[in-house]
Structure formats: structure tokens, C-alpha cells
Structure 1
Amino acid sequence: MCKYTFYYSLCLILFTTACSSRRNLVYFSDLGKKTVDTGMAVNNIEPKIQPNDVLSISINTLSSESNNLFTLNSGYTNKMGFAEREGYRVSKEGFVRLPVVGEIDVKGQTIDQAQQTIARRLNSYVKDPLVNIQFLNFRVTVIGEVNHPSTFTVNNEKINLLEALGMAGDMTVYGKRENVLLIRETDGKRLMTRVNLNEKDVLNSPYFYLKQNDIVYVEPDKEKASEYSPNNRLMPLIVATISAIAVLGTALLGR
């Protein structure tokens, strides 16, 4: 009887292993090897300034005194001795407050638009001001089934899904490329959507290019998730125990 139990257990293990679903690990797998696909990047939309963003605003004029008057210090040293960058935080109403000038509405504007808006206000005080603005809080977070999950600061305010995954060391073999979750907050509203990186159409998706504070979550496949399920943690131990008993019984019967 034990002999048959051993063979039954062995067949069960082999059957379970063989029935594991195969993952499609190829990005844009629906793009043929000989296919050349060209088109305009219609989804490359510039990020817009939102409440609570932190902006670096530098103002250059013909007068060094005016430069110091309108611009905050570019940096300071904190109590720990590390240099940090200080910027202008956008209020919940979408305003930044500049020295002398006062509040300026920049909510929903691109960097170029905000630079022009501030320059127009400064024209009443100085001649031909040059305004340069950068995001100080343009960060994206990549978590889940990637090799190096983390939060990354983006200096050029432009990053797409593939670049973010590359910064995180790419997905592991357990990552579901067909079901990547993107979490985005805009104007106090949270958007959650899923994208399929096995399909080339994702290149034209409005979610291919990321915005500040986006979170990318790579979900594990069912086999990986089941390893951590409380209901399945004892299964390997049970199977191993049955197999050990079967081997021992077979050895005893064979004497």
C-alpha cells in the first residue's frame, strides 16, 4: 500500500509542477519580429504644477541686487550637516508666494507656462527677467515584483513606465507584465488603472509617461502569491511528509 502511496505522491508533485501557468516575459510581444512601427508620441504630455508641489524658482536680471531680492537661497545646511535644496511650496489653492511680488497662481500650468506667468508679473519691477523653474519633488515609486523597489527622484521631469522599471532593476520573472497597476493622484482625486506591457498599444496610453508622485505596483503571479498564502504554507510540508513515509514504507516492504 505504501508503495502505491509513494507513486501517487510522486505523480501528484509532477502534475502540479507541470500545470504551472507559463508567463509571457516579453515586453510588446504582439509586435512581430519584422514589423517596423512608427508614429507620433501623442501621449508625451508635460507634467503640470499641482498643489503641494515644491518648485525651485531662480530669477536672473541685469541687477545682482534684484536677483537676491526675488530669489530664495538655493540651499541650506540642516542640523545633520547635509546640504538640502529649499524651494517654493505650491499652496492648496495653487499659488506660490514670491518676495516683493506676492502670490502668483501657477496651478495646472506647465513649467514653461509658469515661467512666463512669473516673468510677466516681474516686468512691473525689473526689465527682461529670466525665470527658470524646476520640480524639486518629481518622484516616482516602483514596488512589487521588481528587483530593486524604491522611490526615485527624476531630475528632468520626464520618465515613462519602462524607464521607471529599469531604474528599479526590471521586473522579476514572477511579475505580471500584463497587469501593472498605476496609482496617480491629481487635484485631490486618486486614479488607479492597469496597463498591459505585453502589448505595444501601451506606448500610446496616456499612462505610459509618468507624473510626479506616481506609484507603479507590479503584481506577482498566482504561483508566487500562493507561496505566501496562509492556506498553502503547510502544503510543501505535508507533501514532503507523505513522500518520506512512502519511501520508508517501500524500503521496509522490500526487505
Structure 2
Amino acid sequence: MKNFLVYALFLALLLQLSACVSKKDIIYFQNDEIDQSKVSNSYKTIIKPDDLLQIVITAQDTEAVVPFNLGMVNFSATGGAAMGMQQQLNYLVDTNGEIDFPVLGKLKVGGLSRDELITLLKNKLEPDYIIKPNINIIITNYKVTVLGDVRRPGNYTIPNERITILEAIGLAGDLNISGQRNNVIVQREEDGKKTQYKVDLLSKELFTSPVYYLQQNDVVYVEPNYAKIQSASANSNTSLFISITSLLVTVVALLIR
């Protein structure tokens, strides 16, 4: 009986030690040097299928731009009668990367940056339709998703269409202490295919990563460390473990009488 109790205490001690986290597994940016030649502050958003584009065209000739701007629609808070705040209709980029633009018809916009789309529209509008048009484009459903071992997992809408992986993690309340900082996954769709990147938050090389700046619809996943996984597994089996331990103690007590 004594040996059994000693073994149980030893097992509990091992489980406790396995849950310990080293300081070097927590602190960000502690490893490697930054290669400044690879650091770039340039960033451009690439238009993708399922993006909602708000395109507003203005010019001195206000009548000339009317056919090229989608109308305003009234929305009520309850979705009933047409009242309340006005909202401009948006263009949905279809699975072929196209939008149906007034007068001009189908336009291939997928894969273009904002500046490239502005240039495309200007070339098609000027001078036949509008003289010196001003074009403003916004992706109204620009969002990123942060999942896994963070404090506030969820979807986050980004109004300025520019966000780093660190800012996204900040929106999610930072990693929990049990989150794996050296194996953060970023899932991105590129050319119609799902691509995964691994990011090490412990390394300064993060700043040269191709996913340091996130794109719309990127998914950031933080995996829990081994101790967290083991702890979750242990908690789910706590009742069973207690029952088995009680049974074993009873059996041992009867045998040593």
C-alpha cells in the first residue's frame, strides 16, 4: 500500500513538472538578428474572389459619373421597411475574379491591386465617358481570423486594409501562456489554392516573413503546447482516473490485510 501511494505521488509530480514553461519559450523576438535588406514596409492588397468592393467615381462633370456609381439603398435596423441609414451597394467579386460594372460590363479584377484596378478603370472611362475621373476603392469585408490558444479568438474586420500578424494577435488579446510561439500557422489562399506558412514569434526573422503583413481572409492559428494538450486530456478523464484510483486503493487494502 505504501509503495502504491509513493508511486501515485511520483506520477502527480511528473505531471506538474511537465506543465512548467521555460522563459525562453515565451519571450517574443529573442532569437536571430534582423536582416534589414529583407525588411520591406511596402504592402499592397490583392483583390480576390468574394471581396466586396465599394467603387466611387467622381469628376467635375457630376452628371457624367452618375451611370457608373451604384445607387444608395436604405436599410432599417430591423430589416423591415426601407428607412434608416443609407448604404452604397457593393460589387461582389465572383469566383472568376470578375465584377459586373455599369456600362462597361464584366471586368476582370481578381489578382489586381487597388492601384492597378484604378488604372484599369481610368483607361476604360477616359476620355470616352468621363474627363479626369477620380476613383476611390474600398474592400468593405476585409477581415482576418485568429484561432487557437489566444484570449479572444474570432473574426476581425480591418477598416484600413493593412494589418500585421502581430497586430492581429493583439486584437485577439495576445497568446495565452500555453500557446506555442514558435509554430504559429497562417493559412492563405493564393491563386485558388490553400497555402500554409509557419511563423516563429520567438525569432526576429518574423519581420521578413511573407505573411508578416496579412491579406484579407487570412487565418492565423496558434497551437497549444504539449502541456496544455495533456492537461486537457487529463481533465476530460479526471472522473475515470479518480474511480480507477479508488478501486485500486480498495483492492490493495483488501489484499494486504
Same fold per superposition (TM over 0.5): yes
Structure 1 residues 238 and 41, CA gap change in structure 2 (3 angstroms): same
Summarize deviations over 1:21-52 as a string: whole Å, max 9, x none.
52511111216xxx898566327431211233
Q: Which moved more, 1:231-240 or 1:97-106?
A: 231-240
Corresponding residue of 1:8: 7
Q: In the TM superposition, what is the alpha-carbon distance from 1:85 to its structure 2 partner?
A: 5.2
Corresponding residue of 1:73: 71
The question of whether the paired residues in 2 share the 8 Å contact of 1:51 and 1:187 is answered with no
Q: In the TM superposition, what is the alpha-carbon distance from 1:64 to its structure 2 partner?
A: 2.5
The question of whether the paired residues in 2 share the 8 Å contact of 1:48 and 1:107 is answered with yes
Separation in 2, partners of 1:95, 1:238: 58
Segments of 5+ residues of structure 2 without an aligned counterpart are none
1:54-203 equivalences in 2 (<5 Å): 54-77=52-75, 80=79, 86-123=89-126, 124-203=128-207
Amino acid at match of 2:60: L
Equivalenced residue count is 245
The question of whether the paired residues in 1 share the 8 Å contact of 2:34 and 2:205 is answered with no
The question of whether the paired residues in 1 share the 8 Å contact of 2:64 and 2:129 is answered with no
Supply the RMSD in Å over aligned alpha carbons: 3.0
Summarize deviations over 1:81-107 as a string: whole Å, max 9, x none.
585552111233333222122223322
**Aligned match of 1:219 in 189, 202, 223?**
223
Q: In the TM superposition, what is the alpha-carbon distance from 1:228 to its structure 2 partner?
A: 3.5
Q: Which moved more, 1:61-70 or 1:142-151?
A: 61-70
Given the two structures, how large is their TM-score scaled by the length of structure 1?
Answer: 0.83
The question of whether the paired residues in 2 share the 8 Å contact of 1:181 and 1:217 is answered with yes
Segments of 5+ residues of structure 1 without an aligned counterpart are none
Structure 1 residues 131 and 36, CA gap change in structure 2 (3 angstroms): closer
Identical-pair percentage = 33
The question of whether the paired residues in 1 share the 8 Å contact of 2:30 and 2:203 is answered with yes
The question of whether the paired residues in 1 share the 8 Å contact of 2:18 and 2:227 is answered with no
**Aligned match of 1:206 in 210, 225, 247?**
210
Given the two structures, how large is their TM-score scaled by the length of structure 2?
Answer: 0.82
The question of whether the paired residues in 2 share the 8 Å contact of 1:44 and 1:209 is answered with no
Q: In the TM superposition, what is the alpha-carbon distance from 1:118 to its structure 2 partner?
A: 0.5
Q: Which runs of 4+ in 1 moved over 3 A?
A: 35-41, 81-85, 239-246
Structure 1 residues 102 and 19, CA gap change in structure 2 (3 angstroms): closer
